[in-house]
Structure 1
């Protein structure tokens, strides 16, 4: 019975890995784009001279990537990225109570 549970748990976590990998790549790409856009936004001398919204309007790459990153977090990308590790940690916690 324990072997079947272990096999099913391993199957389930392995099934989540491809989707988790894709979400991690999306998160990395959007994060790098946001960081690059932020760097360009901060080193632009015009940023200090104009209003905040004008500055964002002048840097559409940063604005779009930042909105995308915020949207991904509101959509729950952080849960999708760490789901397998959360499941494994919770199973370890529960099984530790039964000395398994």
Structure 2
């Protein structure tokens, strides 16, 4: 993995506390940032579940078993037309937004 040196200003007492408990400050901070990114992704995902895109509600209410029971026995992949849908993206603070095709 390529490393890039960065400079971050932190309060002295915080750096001292890190140095007292961790032998590798850089690794500790990298792990901390990774965990925070993962936490934010999970929070955004959960927020998107609380505010589903209006077009997906009908499919969710139908249920997976009902949907799967109606699939043709072969070539189920032909049911999906990747050009027919509405591309959307979840934006924190704004909700679902339509993307340009």
Normalised by the length of structure 1, the TM-score is 0.30
The higher-RCO structure (CA 8 Å, 6+ apart) is: 1
Relative to total residues, which structure has the larger strand share, 1 or 2? 2
Please tell me whether Structure 1 or Structure 2 has the larger radius of gyration of its CA atoms: 2
Normalised by the length of structure 2, the TM-score is 0.30
Relative to total residues, which structure has the larger helix share, 1 or 2? 1
